[in-house]
Amino acid sequence: MKATTSRQFPSLAAWSVKLIGTILIVSSLVDYLILLIPPNLLNRAWQLNVTSQLVDRGIVPMVGMGLVLIGFWMDSVTSGGSQKPTKPLADLRFWVAILASLLGLLYLLLFPLHLNNTRIARSEALSQINQQATQAETQLETQLGSNQFQQQVEQRKTLLRNQFSSVIDNEEQLNQLLAREDLPQQVKDILEESKTNPQALDQFLEQQADNLPTQLLTQIRERKQELEQQAKTRSLKSSLQTGISSLLLAIGYIGIGWTGLKTVGILGGGRRKPSAG
């Protein structure tokens, strides 16, 4: 009874491992099919999204294949290598090897495809950023030459002049303002100078108004550089993460496929033929 139980337990364990592996493989294939619906093969954004998700989920069927092969290895150990040979088409390892080879080919093809798509997507993003920046500069030039903009600048100068003047006339408030650490040193210097030279404030406001177009243009160009750097960084991360992972998955699946086909005797060095007698 104990001997029978001891033989049945490894067999049950091997069967369970193969079952779990098969479920992982089948569920992954179903997940792949759902991911491809609805297909939009000519859409580059769709290609990038599907490629990334396929690579992210690519390890699951590989684990399932590993479990199936481990299950067959456990059977071989349990039987002492005395298992009856089966035809390749009736051997689960054959279909696992074929599927691994197909997935290896798929991920091998996805590697250059993804790199090319990320390159094109980066170029399009940079072109769009440059176009938006050019439009912003054109709009800025139009605004700078309008009477409405000049009126807004004059209103802003008048408001600031009144605010600064009220502070300069109030000694206590002026000292409190000068004591603030977050106040720019240039503003502190103007407030100090304005106590003895009232024209300093007007000169400062005029200078700020003259520098405003340059400041606005600088903000547009700095924002452009920031967006370009973000687009390049995203492209580089996607190329490295998804591209290299796809290549590694291709190597892993091709290795599993080659090993599996060799094991079932499709490739050279396969299973041994049972000896006569």
Question: What are 69's two structure tokens?
Answer: 């092969």
Residues 155-202 pLDDT 10s: 877 877 777 777 676 767 767 766 777 667 777 777 777 767 767 777
In the DSSP assignment, the letter for residue 276 is P
Q: Which of 52-56, 67-71, 217-221, 267-271 has the lowest mean pLDDT?
A: 267-271
pLDDT greater than 70 at residue 127? yes
What single letter denotes the amino acid at residue 133? A
pLDDT score of 63? 94
State the pTM of this model.
0.72
Q: Which of 46-60, 117-131, 134-148, 151-165 has the lowest mean pLDDT?
A: 151-165
Which range among 57-66, 116-125, 213-222 shows the weakest confidence by mean pLDDT?
A: 213-222
Specify the pLDDT at position 260. 83
Between residues 113 and 145, which one has the greater pLDDT? Answer: 113
86 SS3 class: coil
Give dist(CA 190, CA 208) in Å, integer: 12
Instruction: Tell me the domain boundaries of the chain.
Output: 2-141+227-263, 147-212
The whole-number average pLDDT for the span 105-131 is 94
Burial 227-263 (b: 16+ CB within 10 A, else e): bbeebeeebeebbeebbebbbebbebbbebbbebbeb
Q: What is the pLDDT of residue 200?
A: 73
